[in-house]
Structures are given as C-alpha cells and as structure tokens.
Amino acid sequence: MSNRNKFFHRVAVGAASVALLAAAGCGATTTGGGDGETATASVEEGFTIGLLLPESKTTRYEKFDRPLFEEAVAEICPNCEVSYQNADQDVAKQQSQAEAMLTQGVGVLVLDAVDAEAAGSIVQQAKGQGVPVVAYDRLAQGGVDYYVSFDNKTVGNVQGEALIAGMEAAGTAGEGEVVMINGSPTDPNAADFKAGAHEILDGQVEIGAEYDTADWSPDRAQQQMEQAITSIGAEEISGVYSANDGMAGGVIAALKSAGVEELPPITGQDAELAGIQRIISGDQYMTVYKAIQPEAEIAAAMAVAAATGEEYEGSADNPLTESTDGEGNTVPSVLIEPVAVTAENVEDTVISDGFYSIEEICTDAYADTDLCKEAGDS
Ligand code: BGC
C-alpha cells in the first residue's frame, strides 16, 4: 500500500469506528472512579466534554487539535458540548481551568498536560468526582482511563534517522558536531523523543552540545543555539536535532544571524506550515507529520465511551495497546505511527492528506521553490 493510500485508509477506519460507536447509542450510567459520586451521561441527552490543551506557541493545538476534536465530537455525540481551555504552558493555569470544568459539571476531561506529574492531582480530583479522564497526546499521571498519542519513541527514531540521512546527503556524515535541542522536561513525550533520537545518533555522530528546553519555547531554543554556536563554532556544526518545528525556527534564526549561509540538516516535528515552507525552501531538512485527525477522532471516541460507561475497543489500524505512566499505572492506549517528511514527500503526505493545500504552502515568498513552480506549471 502506498503511503498515500495508507493515510486515507487509516483516517477512514478511524472515522468508521467512531460511527460504530455512535450507532451503538452509548447511553449508559457510569460509576466513575469508584470513590467518587455516580455520574450519568448519555449520548442521547448529551453532556459537556472538557478539552484542556497545553500551549499556543506550537500551531497544532489551535489549528488542528481543537477544531478536529470539536468536529469529531459533533459527529459522534451531536448533543454534547466541548468546553475548551488552553493553559499557555502554565501549570497553575491548567489546574484552575480543570477545577472550573469539574465545578461546571463536565462528563469527562480530555487532558493534554503541561506537566504530566503535576497533572496527577487533576486526574485524582476528577476521579474523586466520578469524572473519567482521557490523556491526550501527553500521558498525565494519576491513573487516567485512556491515552491516545503517537508512538513517541518512534518519533525520536525517525528524527535521528533523518538527521543522519541528511548529513549523508550533505556529505558531512562523520564530520563536525551535532547540537541537540530537546523539548520540555515536564513533557513525557519530550523524554521519549530524546531517547528515540539518542538510540539512533549515539555512536554515529558526535554530540557537541545538548539542551532540554523549558516550555518548548522557540525563543529559548534560539538562545541555546546561540550558546552552542559560541562554544562549538558555527562552521563545526554539521547537524541540529530540534525536537519540534517551533524550536527549529529559533535554531535557524540563530544560525542565520551568526552568518551561516549553508545551513546544516535540521530536524523538526509537527509539520507546521512554517516548517513545511522551510523544508521546501531548503532551510529545514525534515519534520515529523503526525496525522492529528485520527488522534482527535480517537480521543473523542474514548471520551464518549468513558463518560457513558462503555469500553473503547480500538480499530484494526489503530488497535488498543498499553502504556505505563510515570507512576507505574497501566493505561489502555492507542499509539499512532508518525511519518517523516522531507522535500521528497511533502506532496505524498501533508498535501495528499489534505493537511495543507498547495495554495497555503505556496505563498509569494515560496513561489520559486521546485514544489511551487511545478504546481504553478500544472
Ligand atoms: C507534542 C508535540 C509538540 C510539543 C510542544 C508534545 O507533547 O507531542 O507535537 O510539538 O508537545 O507542544
């Protein structure tokens, strides 16, 4: 099956399992976490689903996660409402947003934690009130009911492999030093990305400097890159592992302001529009495309199932597996496969999947790139 067909298949199956769940009615009474009060929720009557996202500097949350989640809920539970809050990377803010939702009487929380450990108290509080919690993208502690994300170790592997391929293509394999800019230490995904990248890079390249980046901040990433340039020397840097696209933007700004004209291969993640544009113009080597539509659909299906006392069973393409949170709780999970995107396969991935249109990518500043010239010719 081609990559392209795989995507359509995956999304179609995701939608089908959601449809089945809706058809089943899903009306039930749930007794929640046992120690809390009994909560009742049914698809027929509808209920409120609290969606808590962690930050807004990374574009995925407002552009994809929130709207796709709301669409998926509207599809499978038309009488449900989504109550949405973004924590802007602030742990205390997320805590009070969650408390307000619990007071408001939500039937279920879908939580993408700023800090997975601190979020344990939100999970405990919800459970105490009989409100189930679905961990979205990042695995919060506290014993959540379900978890949906990508295979985050694989994300790191894919980034590491692409970085080596990029260095080989640039003729710099085995030369110079690699800088690693990892994500936030409070995000368990960042630890997986980092471990997955090390699995590939260690022994293959020399790592000259490595940083964890609080809040996944692109500005901090830029400062860290400036430090690395000062200590290693710009001409000695043969590759940069950046854990996501937002930070890759900071890395590229630092290299450019240090006068580097031929940029070394730089990784990213999220297939942000700016990341894809940097890839087609040659500033960034790769990104990781994570198809957020199935992630959001599965989260919606898990949330509706948990709130109505049903079991979420997974689908053939995205079966249920198990994850272990930072405290050792076992959580039924769906982990979707990520995909590497370079200039070679932008068309077969993010464009053919409808994530972006050619028009969105090919703004005036990118009109001279091969992709946009070809699109203009056809
Ligand atoms: C997500 C990434 C995102 C990062 C920063 C991670 O948990 O998986 O997609 O780039 O957080 O928000």
Instruction: Give the single-character DSSP code of 266.
Output: B
pLDDT at 108: 98
Which stretches of the chain drop beneath a pLDDT of 70? 1-39, 378
Q: Collect all residues with Cβ–Cβ distance below 8 Å to 334 and sequence separation of at least 6.
A: 146, 147, 148, 149, 298, 302, 314, 318, 319, 320, 321
Taking Cα atoms as reference points, which of 148, 141, 147 lies closest to residue 126?
A: 141
With the most atoms of ligand 1 within 8 angstroms of its CB, the residue from 52, 64, 216 to mutate is: 216
* Burial of residue 210, with CB atoms counted within 10 A of its CB: 0-12 exposed, 13-18 middle, 19 or more buried: middle
Give me the pLDDT at residue 203, please. 97
Atom of ligand 1 nearest to the CA of 269: 10
Amino acid identity, position 133: V
pLDDT for 330: 98
Atom of ligand 1 nearest to the CA of 216: 5
Pocket of ligand 1, beta carbon within 6 A: 55, 58, 60, 137-138, 183, 187, 189, 216, 244, 269-270
Per the CB < 8 A criterion, the answer to whether 279 and 248 are in contact is no
Secondary structure class of 105 (helix, strand, coil): coil
Mutate to test the pocket of ligand 1, among 53, 60, 288, 335 (most ligand atoms within 8 A of CB): 60
pLDDT at 376: 84
Give whole-number Cα distances, 151 to 180, 204, 288, in Å. 20, 23, 12
Q: Are 133 and 302 in contact (CB under 8 A)?
A: no
Q: Ligand 1 centre from 326 Cα, in Å? A: 17
Q: Whose CA is nearest to atom 9 of ligand 1?
A: 270
User: What structural domains does the chain harbor?
Assistant: 3-150+291-336 (3.40.50.2300), 152-289+340-377 (3.40.50.2300)
Going from the Cα of 189 to the center of ligand 1, the distance in angstroms, rounded, reads 7
Q: Which of 189, 272, 337, 339 to mutate to test the pocket of ligand 1 (most atoms within 8 A of CB)?
A: 189
How many angstroms separate the alpha carbon of residue 269 from the centre of ligand 1? 8
Quick check: 185 and 226 in contact, CB under 8 A? no
Cα(191) to centroid(ligand 1), Å: 11
Return all residues near 117 (Cβ < 8 A) that are at least 6 apart: 141, 186, 326
What's residue 10's pLDDT? 35
Give the model's pLDDT for residue 39.
52
Nearest alpha carbon, ligand 1 atom 12: 58
**How many residues are recorded in the chain?**
378
Q: pTM, whole model, 2 decimals? A: 0.90
